[in-house]
Amino acid sequence: MRSGRIVHGVTNKIYVVITPDKSGGVIMSDKESIHVQSLQDELKDCKALNKALTILAGEVSCVLGEIAEKGGAKDICVSMGEDAGRRLGKEARKQFGTIENVEEALDTFIYRTNMWYGYEMEIDRVEDGEIHFSVFKCFIRDILRDRGLTTDSPLCGITRGYLTGALQELTGKDVNVELVLGDVNGICRKKITVR
């Protein structure tokens, strides 16, 4: 670019030249150094906030576990998840309309929306009216692992409720999501049935 003219369709590009010093390190301008430090501080703050939220969620799960001994905590978590899932399902229905096929609805949530941030899932198979799928990444499972809890924790019910509420809202059908195999250090396997 010369004197404000466009050269080969590129304007206002900023190129940073990083020059190694004699020791092999990198020399940055003061402005670049301040920007890098600012990004490092922001990353540190995000990590601290994430850790604090993980601890808080773990403590909530422990309290719910104590309540569960008296009965009811799992229902509370599933209900919380269903409420959140219904809100997601309503948004998806606005975007895609009602999807009556539950497998197609799950597929839509997994691959066509960004509503499952924090989750990675994949449909394994459909047999005898049941949809079997694997959960590879789950932020709830990360919390459970961090706090030394298992998938038997009431907190795990949030994910099941989340899926149930979202799929019921998007399909208009009564669905049940069941944990088949829970592994806090690996993959969880779930199945969906239409009641």
The residues spanned by each domain of the chain are 32-194
Using CA of residue 38, residue 57, residue 81, residue 127, what is the dihedral sign?
positive
Rounded Cα–Cα distance for residues 139 and 120 (Å): 10
Q: What is the pLDDT along the chain (195 residues), one digit of tens a residue?
A: 344 444 444 444 455 555 555 666 667 788 888 888 888 888 888 888 888 777 777 777 777 666 666 666 677 888 888 998 999 899 899 999 999 999 999 988 888 777 777 788 999 999 988 999 999 988 888 888 888 888 888 778 888 998 999 999 999 999 999 999 999 998 999 999 998
What is the CATH topology of the domain spanning 32-194?
Answer: Muramoyl-pentapeptide Carboxypeptidase; domain 2 (3.30.1380)
For residue 193, the tally of other CB atoms under 10 A from its CB is 14
């049941």: which residue's tokens?
130
Q: Which helix (H) or strand (E) holds 194?
A: strand 188-194
Q: Tell me the pTM.
A: 0.66
